[in-house]
Structure 1
Amino acid sequence: MTQHASVSTISQFSLYLPYRDGHLHLRQLLPATPDFSKTPILMLHGAMSNGRVFYSQNGRGLGCFLARAGFIVYVLDTAGRGLSLPKITRDFTLGQGEVIREQIPLVQQFILNLHQQTCQGINAVAPSKVHWCAHSWGGVLMASSLARYPQLQQSVRSLLTFGSKRTIRVKSFKKWLMVDLFWNRLAPGLAIGQGYLAADKLGVGMDNESRASLNQSIDWVRGDWRDHDDGFDYAKAAKKALWPQAWFIAGQNDTVLGHPEDVADMVRECGFEQVRLTLLSKANGFKHDYGHGDMLTHLDAAGDHFLQILDWYLAFDLCVFRD
C-alpha cells in the first residue's frame, strides 16, 4: 500500500491485488473521515483507457468529487493498464473475458472483505453491497459480469454508466471514420504488427489495448453478446438477471462512441426494471452538450451533473430512491 499526497481532505492509496503473474492496481480514494460501513463505490474505465479517467493526483474527477462528499471510492486498472502489471506487450494474451470472469469478481470480493475486516475492528456493520460505476466499454464489461453471475447481482447495489453502449448502429461519416475504418480495419492490422494496439503512442487513447480485447470488442459491437472463450450467452442471461437500480448517462455531443441512441439500445437489451436514462445537454438544463470524455473530465462537471450523481448515491444510504 502506497500513500499519496492528501488533496482537499482526500487521501489516495494504491492497493495491489495479486493476479496471475502480476497484480491489479486499485486506487482507493478516502474522505477525511472514512466510514467503512457506508456503501463503497467501484469504478471501471473503458477501452484504450485506465482508471485515471475518474481521478487525478490534484483531486479532479468524479472519484475525487464523491470521496470529498464522504464516499470511499475504488478505481480499477484492468490487467495491463494503468499501474497494473505486467503491462500490455506483444506477449500479452488476456482479453475482455478475463476482466468479466476474473478481475471484476476478484475486486468486488476484495472490497467487501476489506470493509468487513475494517468494520469488525471498529465494531461497525459492514456493507454487503458495492455501487458500480463505469465509463464507456467498462459499462459493457460490468453489465456482462452482472448478467453472468447471480452472486454479483446480490452484492451490487447500483449500476451507473457514462456513454456505455454494446452496439454502434448510428450511421454518419464520423462513425465510419472512427469505427468502421480505424477501429474495425486499421487497428487490427496495427495490432498484428505490434502485437497490441499502442493507443497511447498513436494519440487515440489513454492506454493500450491487447489484440484479444480489440478483436473481441469489435465482434461485440457488430454482433452477438457471447463470450469468446466459452460461448456463454450474455444476452440470454440478461433477460433473467436480477438487475440493480441503474442509471445510464449519455452526452448530447457524444456522436459516435456513446451515441444516445446506442446507449438507449443497451438499456433495452439488458432489460432493466428500474433504470434512468439521462441526456447531458443544454436543452435539458445542463451547462454543456457533453461529449464522450468530457462528461467526466470537463471542469464544469463538478458543478453540474456531478451534483445529481451525488444525490443519487446519497439517496441509497437514506433508503430513498429519487427520479
Structure 2
Amino acid sequence: MKHQQSSEYLDLQQYQLHLRKLTPLHVSQAPVLMLHGAIENGRIFYSQNGKGLGCYLADQGFTVYCADFAGRGLSKPSVGPDFNHSQHQLICQDIPALIQHLYQRYQQKIHLICHSWGGVVLAASLARFPDLLDKVQNNVFFGTKRRISVKSAAKTLQIDLLWNKVSPWLCKRYGYLPAKSWRFGADNEPAQFLLDTVHWINSPHFVDPTDQFDYAKAAAQLQWPPSWFFAAVNDKILGHPDDVRLFMAESNFSDARFSLLGKVQGDALDYDHISMLTHPQAVQGHFQTLSDWLKQQN
C-alpha cells in the first residue's frame, strides 16, 4: 500500500460519525469523501489490506475519507432498538456536516463519490442546501437509483417481498433492521431509515416524506458540478442501468457522464452492483480512468 489508514470521528452531539482516513504517502490531491448505500457501511470502499476504490485513490495521491453513516460501521452508538436514525437527518444534518468539516480542514473543493443509495441522499442534500455546491469539485455515482422500475421474479422476491414487506416487519419486531444476522446485508439499518427508503423506492415523486420538500423541483434549478454515473451490466435490480438513467433525469443531471461497465464496453468482466467497487480487475479499468478524471478536475 502507498497510503496509511486511521480513524477519526465527527461529533454531532447525539452520535458520532466514523471516518476512515486513507492518507497517501506522497503527493496529495484534493480530498475525497465517500458515502455508502443502504445495509452497508464505508467498508464497501476500502479494506485493511489495501483493496477497494478508496485505497486505490489513496495510492494515487488522494486523501480519502470513507464515512460510516450514523449507527453503521464504526460510528457510535451502533444501530439498535435504542438508536434510531432517519433519512431526513442524514440529508439535513449529517451530509452537510461532513462536507463542511472537510472543506474547513482543507480549504478546497471536495470530490464526492457515492455507492447506490448514498448517491440519492447526497443529491437530495445538495439540492436542499445549494450553498454546499461551492464546496464540491465533482460528483461520482456508482449504481445510484431512487426508484426500481424493472420487473422480474428476482425483483419481486428481493424488493417487493423482502425489502418492502419483510424488512418493515423485522423493524417492528426488533426495533431496527437486523440485516447482518439475517444475512442479506453488510450492516444493520435504523428502522426509520428503512421505512424512508421503502417510501422512496415506491413513490414516483422525489419528495421528502418527513416535510414534503420537493427535491426534484429544487434540483431543476441547479447547475451541477461535473458529475459521472457508473452502472453495471449485471446490476439487474439494485442499480439497473435504466433506473440509474431515471434518477439522472429526475435530478437534472442532464450534462453528466454515463458509463456502463461490461465486456461489450471493453471491460474485463460484466460487473454487478458490488463487484464494480470490489473486483480486483477494476484497478486496470474504471478505477484508473476515474482517477485520471479526478486529477483533471483538480
The TM-score with structure 1 as length reference comes to: 0.90
Letter aligned with residue 2 of structure 2: T
Letter aligned with residue 218 of structure 2: A
Aligned to 1:321: none
Aligned to 2:31: 40
2:264 is aligned with 1:264:
no
Q: Decide which of 151, 165, 177 is 1:171's aligned counterpart.
A: 151
The TM-score with structure 2 as length reference comes to: 0.97
| Whole-angstrom CA distance in 1 between matches of 2:254 and 2:222 | 10
Gaps of 5+ in 1: 1-7, 117-126, 318-323
Query: SS where residue 212 of structure 1 aligns?
Result: helix
Superposed displacement of residue 194, structure 1: 0.6
Q: Decide which of 12, 18, 31 is 2:24's aligned counterpart.
A: 31
Aligned runs of 1:150-169 on 2, under 5 Å?
150-169=130-149
Aligned length: 297
Aligned runs of 1:202-221 on 2, under 5 Å?
202-221=182-201
2:238–2:273: 8 Å Cα contact kept in structure 1?
A: yes
2:8 is aligned with 1:15:
yes
Aligned to 1:121: none
Letter aligned with residue 173 of structure 1: A
Query: SS where residue 74 of structure 1 aligns?
Result: strand
Letter aligned with residue 84 of structure 1: S
1:197–1:210: 8 Å Cα contact kept in structure 2?
A: yes
Tell me which moved more, 259-268 or 15-24.
15-24
| Whole-angstrom CA distance in 1 between matches of 2:191 and 2:9 | 25
Tell me which moved more, 149-158 or 166-175.
149-158
Q: How big is the alpha-carbon RMSD for the aligned residues of Structure 1 and Structure 2?
A: 1.1
| Whole-angstrom CA distance in 1 between matches of 2:84 and 2:14 | 12
Gaps of 5+ in 2: none
2:93 is aligned with 1:102:
yes
Query: SS where residue 137 of structure 2 aligns?
Result: strand
Tell me which moved more, 15-24 or 204-213.
15-24
1:177-222 deviation digits (Å, cap 9, x = unpaired)? 1100100011111111011111111111110011101110011111
| Whole-angstrom CA distance in 1 between matches of 2:285 and 2:104 | 34
Aligned to 1:148: 128
Aligned to 1:122: none
2:72 is aligned with 1:81:
yes
Q: Decide which of 43, 52, 67 is 1:61's aligned counterpart.
A: 52
| Whole-angstrom CA distance in 1 between matches of 2:289 and 2:2 | 21
2:199–2:209: 8 Å Cα contact kept in structure 1?
A: no
| Whole-angstrom CA distance in 2 between matches of 1:227 and 1:259 | 23
1:75-96 deviation digits (Å, cap 9, x = unpaired)? 1101000010111111222111
Superposed displacement of residue 156, structure 1: 1.0
- Bigger Rg, which one: 1
Superposed displacement of residue 273, structure 1: 4.1
Aligned runs of 1:128-143 on 2, under 5 Å?
129-143=109-123
